[in-house]
Amino acid sequence: MKKKKNIVLVTGATGFIGKNIAKHFSKNGWYVIGISLEKLDKKEFGKLGIREYYSGKISKSILSKVKKTPDLIVHCAGSGSVGLSLEKPKKDFEMNVGSLLEVLEFMRLRFSKSKLIYPSSAAVYGQKDDAPIKEEDSLKPVSPYGFHKKIAENLCESYSKNFNLNISIVRLFSVYGAGIQKQLLWDACEKISKAEKEIVFFGTGDETRDWIHINDVTELFLVIARSQESFEVLNGASGLRTKINSVLKILLKEYKKPLKIVFNNVVRKGDPKYYHADIEKIISLGWEPKVSLAIGIKDYVNYFKKNND
């Protein structure tokens, strides 16, 4: 008898994280259903490992098109931009909180046996000291985006406790990898490709971030999919503290372009100084990061050059 495939529903399936989740789960034998705003034909969504695809905004009507009961829902739809949340806070709220509420309500009414993985953000922590951040640490966001992610987490906890939904929240730190076209690496590569003498960045260069490669994120989600916890909050990171200046030096070395790195000492609104995760919980699940920052940046530079130079 043929073994029944596990089914995963990925919202935001054409976004950077969503499409990588879809591909990875498909490669591991899952039946993937995707929802996203982009209109794709069968050939296009098939390349992402998606078997069924629905185009539209996350709502009751679009979710109702999903007839198969998913074992897992990974809700990647939403905004991942602090800048957008500062410019258009209402839109960011609707994208991050409103879309999640639609998913939670639909789970409550139709898919109560499904498990939800919700990709949250380290932005919920806000300003922290230069030390590993634990999941139990206080949440004091400094941007509308961070506040909205915190509200979304509260909704997850409420629905889990009041309606017995199985939910895992993953607070992702600095996710990167070939294909991402925003944030530091993309911005830096664009500047390097055009500059002749120097490149200028915000801050001092001593700010720290905890980088996690998209391949490690997708494998982490596959591990979390097997978790039996009714509700849990996990940091999604490599556990390594790296200064922004160090990241840019690695990038310049890989780009093989002798430029001077200049920091303007201006702190952008919504940008915490230090981010470094304690990852004891995800290590205890049997997961560990495999892609080093050096290799990840090398691959990213190759991707950028191939597609943009």
Q: Model confidence over 216-258: pLDDT tens digits?
A: 999 999 999 999 899 999 999 999 999 999 999 999 999 888 8
Of the candidates 125, 212, 124, which has an alpha carbon nearest to the alpha carbon of residue 175?
212
pLDDT above 80: residue 108:
yes
Rg of the chain over CA atoms, in angstroms? Answer: 19
What lies within 8 Å, CB to CB, of 45 at 6+ separation is: 13, 34, 53
Cα–Cα distances in angstroms (integers) from residue 51 to residues 42, 93, 257, in the given order = 8, 30, 43
Per the domain annotation, does 283 fall within a domain?
no
> HSE of 131 in the Cβ direction (CA atoms, 13 Å)?
5
Query: What distance in Å separates the CA atoms of residue 32 and residue 24, rounded to the nearest whole number?
Result: 10
Coil, helix or strand at residue 130: coil
Query: What distance in Å separates the CA atoms of residue 212 and residue 189, rounded to the nearest whole number?
Result: 18
Least confident range from 93-107, 151-165, 181-195, 275-289: namely 181-195
Per the domain annotation, does 69 fall within a domain?
yes
Q: Domain with 125 in it: what CATH number?
A: 3.40.50.720
The domain in which residue 216 lies consists of 7-173+211-237
Name 73's bridge partners. Answer: 9, 116
pLDDT above 60: residue 6:
yes
Query: What distance in Å separates the CA atoms of residue 3 and residue 1, rounded to the nearest whole number?
Result: 6
**pTM for this predicted structure:** 0.95
Query: What distance in Å separates the CA atoms of residue 152 and residue 100, rounded to the nearest whole number?
Result: 7
Cα of first residue to Cα of last residue in the chain, in angstroms, is 52
Per the domain annotation, does 219 fall within a domain?
yes
Indicate the number of domains in the chain.
1
Per the domain annotation, does 2 fall within a domain?
no
| H or E stretch covering 163 | helix 144-163
pLDDT above 80: residue 96:
yes
pLDDT above 60: residue 2:
no
Q: Which pLDDT value is given to residue 1? A: 46
Residue with tokens 């400094």: 142
Per the domain annotation, does 242 fall within a domain?
no
> HSE of 160 in the Cβ direction (CA atoms, 13 Å)?
20
Q: Model confidence over 45-78: pLDDT tens digits?
A: 999 999 999 999 999 999 999 999 999 999 999 9
Query: What distance in Å separates the CA atoms of residue 193 and residue 208, rounded to the nearest whole number?
Result: 24
Alpha carbon 134 to its chain's center = 18
Overall average pLDDT of the 18-36 stretch: 98
| Whether 236 contacts 282, CB under 8 Å | yes
Name 176's bridge partners. Answer: 213
Per the domain annotation, does 201 fall within a domain?
no
Cα–Cα distances in angstroms (integers) from residue 292 to residues 62, 100, 105, 139, 242, in the given order = 39, 32, 39, 29, 12
Per the domain annotation, does 147 fall within a domain?
yes
**Residue-wise DSSP of 169-216:** EEEE-EEE-TT--SHHHHHHHHHHHH-SSEEEESS-S--EE-EEEHHH
Report residue 188 as tokens.
């830096």
| H or E stretch covering 95 | none
Of the candidates 81, 55, 76, 82, which has an alpha carbon nearest to the alpha carbon of residue 66?
55
Per the domain annotation, does 227 fall within a domain?
yes
